[in-house]
Amino acid sequence: MDEKVRMEIKNMNFYYGTKQALCDINIQVYRNRVTAIIGPSGCGKSTLIRLLNRMNDLIPHARIEGEVLLDGHNIYGPDEDVVDVRRKIGMVFQKPNPFPKSIFENVAYGLRVNGIKDRQYIRRKVEKSIKDAALWGEVKDRLNDSALALSGGQQQRLCIARALAVEPEVLLMDEPASALDPTSTSKIEELIQELKKRYTIIIVTHNMQQAARISDYTAFLMLGQMVEYDLTPKIFTNPAKKVTEDYITGRFG
C-alpha cells in the first residue's frame, strides 16, 4: 500500500499534575485510513485522542512533552493557534453532546463560528452534512425541533454531522458508539467506512470486534504505554507481543 502520513505523534509524554498518563508514544496516522486505539479502561485512550486536537489544554496542571504533527506541522508549536488546530481536527465525543438548540442550529453552529453568513450556503451545507451522517431521512421534516428530543443514536449522528459541517482534515472519535444500541452502532460503523474515503479517522474503542471490523491500523495501549501498533489484520491474527494477544483474545482482566 502506498500510505501517506497525515498525523504523527512523536515521543509523547503527558502528565496530569505529577501523574504520568502517557509514556513515550509514537504513532503515524495515515491519510484516508481508520486508525483504532484500543486498550483496557484507564490506559490513556481518551487522554491520547484529546491531545490530538488540544482538548487537554483545558485541564489545569496538565503538561505535555513531545510533538504532534499535522502534515508535518507541530500543532503544539509556539506560533500555532489552538482555535485553528481544532477547526482542522474535528472531534466526536463518547457521550452524544448536542447543544440545547434545534437540529438545524446544531449543525449550522460550526459554520457560524467560522463567520459564514450566507444563508443559502448554510442551508445547503447543513443538509449535506446531515446526509453524510446518514441522518437526513429521519430528521428532514423536523429540522427546527430541539436536538435533545432525538434518540441517543440519532444525537450521536447529529454530532458527527456537526463535526463534518466544518470540513475537518482529521476526525477524532472517542468511543462514539459506546452508549448506543447495536442498530445505531452498525449505522455508525457503516458511516465510518463511507467517511474514510474523504477523511482521516482516529477512533477509540474498547470493543475489539469493532476495531477489527472498521479499522485499517490498530494501536494497543496499556498503562499509558503503547504496546503495539500495526496493521489491524496483523494485530488481530499475528500480534508481535504476548500481552497484545492475551488482551485481544480476552484472556486478560
Ligand X SMILES: Nc1ncnc2c1ncn2[C@@H]1O[C@H](COP(=O)(O)OP(=O)(O)OP(=O)(O)O)[C@@H](O)[C@H]1O
Residues forming contacts to ligand X in the complex (CB under 6 A) are 16, 21, 39, 41-47, 59, 206
| DSSP 8-state class, residue 168 | -
Q: Could you tell me the smallest distance in angstroms from the CB atom of residue 48 to ligand X? A: 7
Is position 55 an interface residue for another protein (rule: CB under 8 A)? yes
**14's grid cell:** 503527558
**Of Mg ion, ligand X, another protein, none, which one does residue 110 interact with (CB within 5 to 8 Å by kind)?**
another protein
Whole-angstrom distance, CA of residue 157 vs CA of residue 221: 27
**Segments of 1-92 assigned E as strands:** 5-16, 19-30, 34-38, 62-70, 73-74, 89-92
| 117-122-123-125 Cα dihedral, nearest 10 degrees | 170
What the block records as the C-alpha cell of 148 is 435533545
Of the two residues 5 and 82, which places its CB atom closer to another protein in the complex?
82
Of residues 111 and 222, the one with the C-beta less far from Mg ion:
222
Q: What is the largest CA-CA distance in the chain?
A: 56
CB 85 within 8 A of CB 75: yes
Stretch that binds another protein, among 18-26, 83-91, 180-188, 212-220 (CB under 8 A): 83-91
Among 46, 106, 156, 200, binds Mg ion (CB under 5 A): 46
Interaction of residue 56 with Mg ion, rule CB under 5 A:
no
Our finding on whether 91 is near another protein (CB under 8 A) is yes
Piece of 41-49, 84-92, 165-173, 214-222 that binds Mg ion (CB under 5 A): 41-49
Burial bucket for residue 147 (CB in 10 Å: 0-12, 13-18, 19+): buried
104 vs 247, beta carbon nearer ligand X: 247
Number of residues this chain uses to bind another protein (CB under 8 A):
25
Q: HSE of 233 in the Cβ direction (CA atoms, 13 Å)?
A: 0
Shortest separation between residue 240's beta carbon and ligand X, angstroms: 21
- Residues binding another protein (CB under 8 A): 53, 55, 58, 60, 83-84, 86-87, 90-91, 93, 95, 97-100, 109-110, 112-114, 159, 162-163, 166
